[in-house]
Amino acid sequence: MSTPIFPNYIDGAWVEGPTFENRNPADTSEVVGLHGKGSAEDIQRAADAAQSALPTWSAMSGPARGALLYKIADILDRKFEQISADMTREEGKTLPEAKGEVRRSINIFRYFAGEGSRMAGVMAPSERDRVHMFALRKPVGVVGLITPWNFPSAIPAWKLAPALICGNTVVMKPASAAPLSAWRIIEACHEAGVPKGVVNFVGGSGGTLGAAIVNAKPIKAISFTGSCEIGNWIHTEASKRHLRIQLEMGGKNPTIVLADADFGSAVENCVNATFFSTGQKCTATSRVIVEEGIYDKFVAAVVERTKKLKVGNGMQAGIDIGPCVDEGQMDTVLRYIEIGRKEAGEPLTGGHRLTGGDYDKGYFVEPTVFANVTEDMVIAREEIFGPVMAILKARDFQHAMQLANGSDFGLSASLQTTNLSRMFEYIYGIEAGLVTVNLPSAGVEYQLPFGGSKDSSFGPKEQGPAALEFYSDHKTVYIKY
Ligand code: NAP
């Protein structure tokens, strides 16, 4: 069977041209597909097409745009099994995880479709006689969406759906490591009959296309999710053109485990948050901070549980953890494990690339647990983005909070406790945009604002009603009658 080709999509047409390979990280002999490798000129054409489509799309009523978003959701729903399997094959996460993500993408389109019938502005009484005043929402214009590989469907969905419902037109650049899941959403837009030019999709290297997106004149806003390094670069460059920007970046997320926690569920939550999706979630736990009194018992239980995790090809039943997304990411994880060895000693479990048999086909790393980690160590400070847990010891709750907040990042955080007062002290005192209690630090829903604080994020939050703040502007109107 020949390798399928997934071309770029500009001005309502599939564009033939150079391609790059999308390989399965669990079995690198499989090429999942060939994707359109766009150029700076393609970005410009896409931005121009989006600009031309803007007047008609933004003039369409919110409910009419919503009807198209419902159609997109229905198309994705019909292809649910195929799109989920595509995701496992291109990104490596397990099939149940992929299904959960595709379900979320579908729900996101339905949620924002309904938003088209609300889209409320602001109305207030005037101080002046016979003056009627209100502020209505209007779109920002052409928006650039740059997405990462770790949630290759949900993140494109949670950027694209609110952008469209607010009346914007779009140029999307997916991650090169996993472009197919986003491509499936664009395919659904095409099949749903979204007018030409409203949605444009240009794959290819971020290093080549990034500057073109930031500099394309029609683009008025950029929503980016990815590393701090690239996000900070976009911040600098986009500021020169006064672009509206939204940046969601890295994390070093803590889970605090207090001595009064429900022990079994605390162990389960820490293992889930650290290792599921191969630790490649921006909200994954990578620092576990345990109160002294239960430290030894907790470390022993986590190690025992971690040893039971099954690593392998996520298409197979019973697998808990898939591969790293590519060789570069695996090398980064292995490099941090070596740093951890020097800093904290031999890991209590894991610590190697998995080899032999089917493991040789992909980028598999053992789930790894380091104990006796201190706050000054590199593995306690830098994002690893892989299946590595660093366990720190805290004297008491206050010390645990101090350790948790002692990071430049502030994306997500979790507390395991049964103490109500501690819970509220933590909720108000923890420096993070997403806060969980007695749940894993990862696992968010689309109905509420999403995003971090400190160096993890910049600009308005994503998802829920907050998304409208980024993707729309207010126009304030005064009428004398
Ligand atoms: P990345 O290397 O920054 O890439 C993200 C996106 O930016 C990709 O589409 C990439 O394209 C593109 N890109 C690369 N260079 C660019 C440039 N010079 N200008 C513009 N775009 C450019 O990040 P990643 O490795 O894909 O994702 C992992 C990171 O994302 C982690 O740090 C993780 O914490 C973070 N993340 C954060 C959140 C959140 O909500 N806070 C969610 C998910 C992930 P190519 O793929 O072609 O390089």
The tens digit of pLDDT for each residue in 22-50 reads 999 999 999 999 999 999 999 999 999 99
Give the rounded percent of residues in the chain with a pLDDT score beyond 70. 100
Q: What's the pLDDT at 119?
A: 87
Q: Provide the annotated active-site residues.
A: 248, 282
Q: In testing the pocket of ligand 1, which one of 180, 183, 225 has its CB within 8 Å of the most ligand atoms?
A: 225
Question: What pLDDT, on a 0 to 100 scale, did the predictor assign at position 266?
Answer: 98
Judged against a pLDDT cut of 90, whether residue 453 lies above it is answered with yes
Give pLDDT, residue 441: 98
Q: Whose CA is nearest to atom 30 of ligand 1?
A: 226
Which residues sit with their C-beta closer than 6 Å to ligand 1?
146-151, 173, 175-177, 205-207, 210, 225-227, 230, 233-234, 248-251, 282, 383, 385, 411, 452, 456
Backbone φ and ψ of 401, nearest 5°: -65, -40
**What's the average model confidence in pLDDT over 438-448?**
96
User: Residue 393 contacts by C-beta under 8 Å, 6 or more apart in sequence?
Assistant: 289, 290, 292, 295, 372
Residue closest by Cα to atom 34 of ligand 1: 250
Q: pTM score, two decimals?
A: 0.97
Query: From ligand 1's centre to the CA of 264, what distance in Å?
Result: 35
Q: How confident is the model at residue 440 (pLDDT cuts 50, 70, 90)?
A: very high
> pLDDT category, 120, cuts 50, 70, 90?
confident
Mean pLDDT of 204-222: 97
In whole numbers, what is the pLDDT of the chain averaged over residues?
Answer: 97
Q: Which of 155, 213, 249, 280 is the pocket-test mutation for ligand 1 (most atoms within 8 Å of CB)?
A: 249
